[in-house]
Amino acid sequence: MRAYFMDDLPGDQRLPHDSGNAVSDETLDKLGILRWHIPSDAEGQWEEQVNVIANERSYRNRDICLVTKEGMGDAYEANLKKFYHEHMHEDEEIRYIIEGGGYFDVREHTTDSWVRLHLSAGDMIVLPAGIYHRFGLDMGNKSRTLRLFKDEPKWIAYNRGVETESNPYRLEYVKSLEVSA
C-alpha cells in the first residue's frame, strides 16, 4: 500500500493524482487507519491470516464485492459514482483486496486534504467509523475485495454534509483524533 496526499488537478479519478508528498505511517496511525499486507497468492494462507484479524476485531460476517464492468453490468457506472462520493459509515470499513486494486481516499482531519491510499492484492485496511472517505478503481479497472462486517453485511453511506457533522459516530471519531494528538 502506498499513501500520499492527492494533487488538486482535475482528471480521471483512476489516475494516481500523486502530489509527490508521501504520508507517513505515523499520520495514518493518527487517523486511526489500520493496515496489513497479507499476500493473496499463498493458497488458503491469506484466508487464515484474515480470519485471525477478523476474530480479534469481532467480525462475524463477510462477502466478496467484485467491482468490474462485467461483474456489475448496467450498475457499474452508478456504483463507481456512489463509491467515489465523499461519505462516512457508522461502522468500521474493513477491506482485503484479493485481486486488482483501487484507491481509498480519506480526509486528513486538520487540513481537510485528501490522503490517497493505493491498495493492491494482499492489502487490508480498517477505516474507523466516522472518517470521511471514498473509493475508486485504479487504471486496472478491477477490484475483487473481501468485505468484513461485525454484524449482518450492510453498506450504508452517509454523504458528507451538515447532518454528518453532528452524527454521533463522526463526533466520536473527531474526539478520538483530539485525544491522540
| Tens-place pLDDT, residues 23-50 | 999 999 999 999 999 998 766 789 999 9
Show binding-site residues.
Answer: 87, 89, 93, 133
User: What is the distance between the alpha carbons of residues 139 and 125, in angstroms, rounded to a whole number?
Assistant: 20
Show binding-site residues for Fe(2+).
Answer: 87, 89, 93, 133
Strands 61-67 and 158-159: unpaired
Q: pTM of the entire structure?
A: 0.93
What domains can be seen in the chain, in order of their start residue? Answer: 18-180 (2.60.120.10)
- The three three-digit cell numbers of residue 14, written as one number: 483512476
Query: Residue 175 above 80 pLDDT?
Result: yes
Look at residue 42 in the predicted model and tell me its pLDDT. 65
Q: What is the pLDDT of residues 114-124, one digit of tens each?
A: 999 999 999 99
Show binding-site residues for Ni(2+).
Answer: 87, 89, 93, 133
Look at residue 45 in the predicted model and tell me its pLDDT. 87
Mean pLDDT of 144-163: 91
Query: Residue 181 above 70 pLDDT?
Result: no
- Please list, residue by residue across 23-35, b when 16 or more beta carbons sit within 10 angstroms of its beta carbon and e when fewer do: beeeebebbbbeb
